[in-house]
Amino acid sequence: MSYRPYQQIERRKSRQIHVGRVPVGGDAPITVQTMTNTLTTDAQATIAQIRLSEIAGVDIVRVSCPDEESTAALAEIVREVNVPIVADIHFHYKRAIEAARAGAACLRINPGNIGSPERVREVVNAAREHGCSIRIGVNAGSLERHLLEKYGEPNPEALVESALEHAKILQDLDFHEFKISVKASDVFMAVAAYQQLADVCDHPLHIGITEAGGKRAGTVKSSIGLGNLLWAGIGDTMRVSLSAEPAEEVHVGWDILKSLGIRHRGVKIISCPSCARQGFNVIQTVATLEERLAHIETPITLSIIGCVVNGPGEALMTDIGVTGGGSGRHMVYASGKQDHTMPAEAMVEHIVELVTEKAAIFQAEIDAKKALDAAAASRVSAVLAAE
Ligand code: SF4
């Protein structure tokens, strides 16, 4: 949480569920999801795609299970990856049961679409038995007929009513390990639906703008929609839906969270757009640094600013700062203070070295704090056990 009051976001209070070992809702970190686009039956290709998403920092991955062959492949996929897998089912209750048996951590299925109450009960029993949570995924493009007739067209009220109807089916079976999404490709409709849903229930919410578009337009649209919701404290897990590779969705998801100061991972680069005053080629330098520093997971901030107009000011708010100077030498700032100059030709290598060293120091501090917290927690447990 930031110490600057204007950066505070008050998060909606939701109940916590688990997707495998990953908590969703409550005070758990807001997680980043994506979905594979390989054939699930091609387990090796799907595993490879999930691994790329893991490198990008994904927390949870969804995999489509349209047929029995896919749920058969799911067992191997689950075994070979490190993140929990959500099986995307939609209609067929048998696929849901197979996916639960195959090790899915969560089933994306709408209980109202499964059919008879007996089938719903079977799916819920399978979920319970195998420790699966459920995602109710309402989509403006596939609203139930009775709601379309009632409202005339998809709208936020219809999305919320649909979600609550599905939720009631699970609650009546005393199943509460579920989260809800109410997605629409229209950003106004999606945001309004999530706002209304957030007001009337405490279930964790999976947020997303569905079918947002290609990489650039989809990123903008998702940032507006998800940014708006997250800023208002709404959302416990998120997916940026792009017509792009899954790892790209993960990068964008992280960038949205980083922009709002909600979660930090890796190097956050603040850079100027550059202009005639730049002391070095800012655009090229930033592109190279993004690539060279992509493997760093420790949160750290770096400002790359072309000249003294904004450089010193931005450096004040970053761990390492660089400002373009004259005569082929540029200024390096450490924790906001001028530290030393570096020659233009060695710039990229030098920055990579500085960031790597500082990230290692930060990581050691994080690990030491974790060890201290764990020791304190086990002392408390020991005292409680002795009482
Ligand atoms: S910081 Fe300097 S180089 Fe960068 S855009 Fe502003 S004036 Fe131009």
Query: How many Å lie between the centroid of ligand 1 and the Cα of residue 91?
Result: 55
**CA distances (Å), origin 95, targets 33, 151, 153:** 22, 32, 30
pLDDT value at residue 365:
96
> Cα separation of 92 and 107, whole Å?
12
pLDDT value at residue 268:
92
Note the pLDDT tens digit of each residue in 50-59: 999 999 999 9
Note the pLDDT tens digit of each residue in 332-381: 999 989 999 999 999 999 999 999 999 999 999 999 999 998 899 888 88
CB 159 within 8 A of CB 182: yes
Look at residue 64 and give its three-state secondary structure: strand
- Does the reported pTM lie above 0.85? yes
Sorted by where each starts, the structural domains of the chain and their CATH numbers stand as: 17-259 (3.20.20.20), 267-362 (3.30.413.10)
pLDDT value at residue 380:
87
The answer, yes or no, to whether any atom of ligand 1 lies below 6 A from the CB of 49, is no
The whole-angstrom distance between residue 282's C-alpha and the CA centroid of its chain comes to: 29
Query: How many Å lie between the centroid of ligand 1 and the Cα of residue 283?
Result: 11
The answer, yes or no, to whether any atom of ligand 1 lies below 6 A from the CB of 310, is yes
The answer, yes or no, to whether any atom of ligand 1 lies below 6 A from the CB of 272, is yes
E strands in the chain:
17-19, 22-24, 31-35, 60-64, 85-90, 106-109, 133-139, 178-183, 206-207, 237-239, 267-271, 300-305, 320-323, 329-334, 337-343
Note the pLDDT tens digit of each residue in 27-71: 999 999 999 999 999 999 999 999 999 999 999 999 999 999 999
Q: What is the DSSP letter of 140?
A: G
pLDDT value at residue 1:
46
Quick one: average pLDDT of 196-203? Answer: 98
Burial label for 95, CB within 10 Å (0-12, 13-18, 19+), is: buried
The answer, yes or no, to whether any atom of ligand 1 lies below 6 A from the CB of 307, is yes
> Cα separation of 229 and 211, whole Å?
17
What amino acid is encoded at 292 in this protein? Answer: R
